[in-house]
Amino acid sequence: MVDTQKFIQYFRTKKITSFTYLNITQFLGALNDNIYKLLIAFFLIQQLGADRSYLIFSTTGAIFVLPFLLFSSNSGTLADRFSKRNIIVFTKILELLVMSMGLMAFAFESVAFSYVTLFMMATQSAIFGPSKYGIMPEIVEIEKIPRANGLLTSFTFLAIIIGTFLASFITDITDRNFILAALSCTLISLAGVMMSFGIEYTPPSGSIKRLDVRFLRDIYKTLKVSYHVPSLLPAILGSAFFLFLGAYVQLNIIPFAMEALGLTDVQGGYLFLLTALGIGTGAVLAGRISGKVVELGIVPTAACGITICLFLIDYYSSSLTIIIPLILITGILGGMYQIPLDSFIQIASPNESRGQVIAATNFLSFSGVLLASMMLYLLSGVIGLRADQGFSVLGVFAGCVTIYFSFQFYDYVSRFVGMILSKLHFSTTYEGLDNIPSEPALYVCQHTAWNDTLLMLGAQRLRMRFFIQNEQEHKGWMKRLYKFLRVVFIPEVETLSDNLESIHSIGKTLRRGISICIFVENMAIEDEINMILSSTAFCDVLKAHETKIIPVKIEKGAKEKSHRFLPMLMNRIHIPAYLTFYQPKEIA
């Protein structure tokens, strides 16, 4: 007999991280999903006839989505109550059993059994999802989660690309021998089981919540909890919209290729592969841009780009040479849109209910898939719009979402834009970066010029609100910049204790998880901080939010002009700047 403990220990002693094992496990699962879904579709077309293909695809699509809607909430509860690693191993074993059922369904040429197998395949995927995403903060360091999510998403879409190709390829080379084709899926499942044992054990998160068949009520309660966590509910809704968007593009791309571009259905399928390739690329880019901190400022920017691309696809619908890069760019922007949202949901979700939050996100996401199918039927079957016009309608929806996120994530966008402008405008040297806390803080520094705001935004990765002493008249363009950054003009620090409006605004900002930067005119920063500490009302606000005070010194050099063309150009743009962050001061 095989010693299970030795088998597991073999994987753990290898110099491979748990995240790598998780990534390989989910890659093999996604690969199997995409191969098997198409194999069943090909099998049913052979059994029922090509003239019923529309009914076959709509039925298989509904059956595959149904378990995600029915079991997502309880799957999240399981992930919160039990070891997520053990649940992952269980689902991979279940997948192996389901693939064995698939072999039998093809062997007996049973249509009904094929549908049952597809339902079971989707069920194990629905159980796997919350644990897959929920385990990330337990096996990956917080600052590495955005990049890890980028890799996870990239491998998922790589699995979609390879799976879509292999399903057709295996069907062709086996001369539609579905038993041999299903055997390949069984072998992939076996490999997934072996890889899942390499993931290190993670303890249960401590939730005592029980399973409840009234999952809609659970989802509603989870969303209510998410509402009280800053930016979490908008991130959940944004993630769900992405699946709606992707599902509509997937469903509409082949009719679009046939109607507008004159391609065959198989050739049209390659356009969707371009989208998947783009999403994987965008996911990696988003992970690299985010670095150690989730960069939600990318989301509205990417959504705006997606909106423009959707309208351009309709406008240039007859030109294949333009459509190919547009679809690829749309995919890249989609990946950049999705990764920050997924990363933020994982990090911001309360630990004891993280699985439920992810499950609720999955439920809303797969509801979006159903809505995409309904929208396609409504636009094409009822209203009679062409496939290319459908992309413009989708662009209208994407535009509305862009406007929504521009308001919801305004502080993230302004910080992201400010960071980019800072890197373009300054060549900055930092000292004391270790003194910058991971939680919101109060920064006090001398105000030397309008671009001090850019330096502070580029120096740290948290959202920041600026409070500037209103001692001078500003130009029109500077007023517009300050309005974009939501700068608050305040009186001199000595009178802050009497300015309840400013103190209330500072407290509200800290409560939302946003740092405060107070720009003062006095070069003696310590004197200004002492004045702050002498204000009882101000200190009460800082104590309530356990906020540290950090003195900051800003120095700027002069532009260099005696260089050759390119260095001279860069030095004319870049201003040398030096930022020093001193030791935080605690409130007594």
**Residue 218, domain CATH:** 1.20.1250.20
Its domain, for residue 133, covers: 1-212
Same domain, 152 and 3: yes
Mean pLDDT of the chain: 79
Burial 346-369 (b: 16+ CB within 10 A, else e): bbbbbeebbbbbbbbbbbbbbbbb
Same domain as 253, residue 361: yes
Which of 408, 432, 455 finishes a domain? Answer: 408
- Of 567 and 486, the structure prediction assigns the larger pLDDT to 486
User: Are residues 252 and 375 located together in one domain of the fold?
Assistant: yes
Number of domains in the chain: 3
Q: Beta partners for 429?
A: 578
Are 451 and 572 in a shared domain?
Answer: yes
- Residue 110, in any domain of the structure: yes
**The pLDDT value given to residue 491:** 60
Is there a single domain that holds both residue 248 and residue 369? yes
Summarised one tens digit per residue, pLDDT across range 252-308 is 777 787 778 887 655 666 777 788 788 878 877 887 777 666 778 888 888 899 999
Return d(Cα 153, Cα 158) in angstroms, integer: 8
Measuring CA to CA, how many Å separate 208 from each of 204, 289, 297?
10, 38, 36
Is residue 447 very low, low, confident or very high in pLDDT (cuts 50, 70, 90)? confident
Q: How far is CA 155 from the centre of its chain?
A: 15
Last residue of a domain, one of 212, 228, 262: 212
Q: Is the pLDDT of residue 543 over 60?
A: yes
pLDDT in tens, 92-115: 999 999 998 888 888 888 888 888
The reply to whether 417 falls in a domain is no
Tell me the pTM: 0.69
Cα-Cα-Cα-Cα dihedral sign, residues 343, 349, 354, 358:
negative
Taking only the tens place, the pLDDT of each residue in 131-183 is 887 788 888 877 777 778 777 877 887 787 788 777 777 877 887 888 888 88
Are 16 and 158 part of one and the same domain? yes
Amino acid letter, 415:
R
* Model pLDDT for residues 224-240, shown as the tens digit of each residue: 888 877 788 888 888 88
Q: How far apart are CA 471 and CA 355, in angstroms?
A: 51
Higher pLDDT, 390 or 358: 390
Q: What is the pLDDT of residue 190?
A: 92
Q: By the 8 A CB rule, do 529 and 549 touch?
A: yes
Span 24-72, pLDDT tens digits: 998 999 899 888 887 887 788 788 875 565 566 667 777 888 888 887 6
Check residue 565 and give its pLDDT.
47
How far is residue 206 from each of residues 78, 127, 344, measured CA to CA in Å? 11, 19, 22
Q: Rounded to whole angstroms, how far apart are CA atoms 286 and 561?
A: 35
Residues 133 and 93 placed together within one structural domain of the fold: yes
Residue 586 within any structural domain of the chain: no
The pLDDT tens digits of the residues spanning 472-514 come to 555 666 666 666 666 766 665 545 556 677 778 888 888 888 8
Question: By mean pLDDT, which of 181-195, 487-501, 521-535, 540-554 is the weakest?
Answer: 487-501
Residue 588 lies inside a defined structural domain of this protein: no
Beta-ladder partners of 445: 519, 552
Is 205 in the same domain as 266? no
Residues 145 and 230 placed together within one structural domain of the fold: no
Angle ∠(282,284,286) on CA atoms, nearest 5: 65
Single-letter amino acid, residue 60: T
Residue 413 placed within a domain: no
Task: Check if the beta carbon of residue 390 is closer than 8 Å to that of residue 380.
Answer: yes
Same domain flag for 381 and 427: no
Contacts of residue 223, defined as CB under 8 A and 6 or more positions apart, other chains included, come to: 233, 236, 360
Is pLDDT above 70 for 471? Answer: no
Find the mean pLDDT for residues 426-434.
83
pLDDT over 80 at 193, yes or no: yes
Q: Tell me, yes or no, whether 183 lies in a domain.
A: yes
3-class SS letters over 259-302: HHCCCCHHHHHHHHHHHHHHHHHHHHHHHHHHCCCCCCCHHHHH
Q: Is 90 helix (H, G, I), strand (E, B) or coil?
A: helix
Predicted local confidence at residue 396, as pLDDT: 92
Q: Taking residues 301-330, report their average pLDDT.
A: 90
One domain for residues 570 and 485 = yes
* Domain assignment of residue 415, yes or no: no
Q: Is the pLDDT confidence value at 1 over 50?
A: no
Choice among 48-62, 120-134, 375-389, 559-573 with the minimum mean pLDDT: 559-573
What average pLDDT score do residues 434-457 get? 81
**Cβ(118)–Cβ(194) under 8 Å?**
no
pLDDT category of residue 418 using cuts at 50, 70 and 90: confident
Q: What are phi and psi of 461, to 5 degrees?
A: -110, 5
Last residue of a domain, one of 170, 193, 212: 212
Q: Which of 23, 316, 366, 84 is nearest to 206 (CA)?
A: 84
Residues 243 and 361 in one domain: yes
77 lies in some domain: yes
